[in-house]
Structure 1
């Protein structure tokens, strides 16, 4: 670790206790601290001690349930604003830049990115922006290391099987506009979105998606802290990933 990371971890231990970062330290050891599930081999980091559950009940975690309820209640307004943006301002939907790939048939409108709310999005999607800020950002439920965006798959688009980088955040999907013929597979189990409802899954497991319909499929994707992580772990993981990204930019 860099001196900056060591100092930051030391400060967290002093505030929360010597054992507060034990799992993070174990994750950083050679071998990752625990055996790796075969459908997680593509993930970079696996924080030990978190539930190894690919699919989660969206309302099954007290911290996440209010976020789910708020987004589902706001779905009609969110969909109306999304459709208006597609009709009037299609240029705001950029090609989505996943860490593994970039696809012209996978579009995104970002609400939160690079550790902050994207203020310009408040004009385009005010309801989703408000719910995100009130229920996920202000409460500390949103993982600031990643993003929140409308994810649109154009007809015929597929997302190839892949694992995301880690298991200490978890992916919430609000099904905003779902044509027939769309599905998502996580750890070998395929499900379909139900418009107006949320899915919640651990994207460190291999997953893929497809739109075999005749019009675009849009979900609102929200990266939340895994409910099994603690406050000091979240602080340490934020410092860790931020420092690694800085070193990669500077290097």
Structure 2
């Protein structure tokens, strides 16, 4: 670790105790500090001690239930605002740039990115922006290392099987506009989105998605801290990944 990381970790330990970052330290050991599930082998970091559960019950974590319920309650207005933006302000959408690839048939409209809310989107998707800010950002449930965006797959678009970078955040999908013929597979189990409802899964497991429908499929994706991580771990992980990205010249 760099001196900056060591100083930050020491300050966290001073507040939360000497053992508060033990799992983060184990993660940084050669080999990742713990065995991983075969379908997590493509992930870069696995924080040991987190339940190796690909699919999560959206209402199975008290910390995250208010986020799920708020987005589901707001779905009708969110869908209406998204449809208006897609019809009238298509220029605010862009090709989605995953860390592995960029796809023209996968469009994105960002609400949270680079550690903060995307203020320009407040006028385009005001209800989703308000719910995200009140229930995920202000409550520190959102993982600031990642993002929140409307994810629109065009007809016949396919997202190839892949693992995301780590297991210490999980992905919430609010099904905004779902035509027939759309599905998502996580760790070999395929499910369909139900419009107006949320799915919650650990995207360190291999996953893929497809739109075999006749019109675009849109979900609102929110990256949330894994509920089994602790406050000191979240602080340390934010310092760690931010510094790694800085050293790599990626922000």
1:69-218 equivalences under 5 Å are 69-218=69-218
CA distance in 1, matches of 2:79, 2:117: 20
CA distance in 2, matches of 1:49, 1:221: 25
User: Where does the alignment leave 5 or more consecutive residues of structure 2 unmatched?
Assistant: none
CA distance in 2, matches of 1:129, 1:200: 19
SS of corresponding position for 2:33 = coil
Give the TM-score of the pair, scaled to structure 1: 0.99
How far 1:225 sits from its partner (Å)? 0.1
CA distance in 2, matches of 1:244, 1:33: 19
CA distance in 2, matches of 1:2, 1:105: 40
How far 1:14 sits from its partner (Å)? 0.6
Could you list the structure 1 runs, at least 4 aligned residues long, displaced by more than 6 angstroms after superposition: none
CA distance in 1, matches of 2:36, 2:60: 25
CA distance in 2, matches of 1:216, 1:123: 22
Aligned position for 2:18: 18
How far 1:36 sits from its partner (Å)? 1.5
How far 1:92 sits from its partner (Å)? 0.6
Deviations 1:99-136 (A, max 9, x none): 00000000000000000000000000000000000000
| 1:234 maps to 2:238 | no
Deviations 1:168-226 (A, max 9, x none): 00000000000000000000000000000000000000000000000000000000000
CA distance in 2, matches of 1:55, 1:213: 24
Aligned position for 1:249: 249
With over 3 angstroms needed to count, the CA separation of the structure-2 counterparts of 1:76 and 1:250, relative to structure 1, is closer
Deviations 1:12-65 (A, max 9, x none): 001100000000000000010111211000000000000110000001100100
Give the TM-score of the pair, scaled to structure 2: 0.99
CA distance in 2, matches of 1:78, 1:102: 26
CA distance in 2, matches of 1:42, 1:30: 16
| 1:57 maps to 2:57 | yes
CA distance in 2, matches of 1:197, 1:212: 20
How far 1:250 sits from its partner (Å)? 7.6
CA distance in 1, matches of 2:100, 2:6: 30
CA distance in 2, matches of 1:243, 1:189: 35
CA distance in 2, matches of 1:87, 1:102: 23
Indicate the RMSD between aligned Cα atoms, in angstroms: 0.9
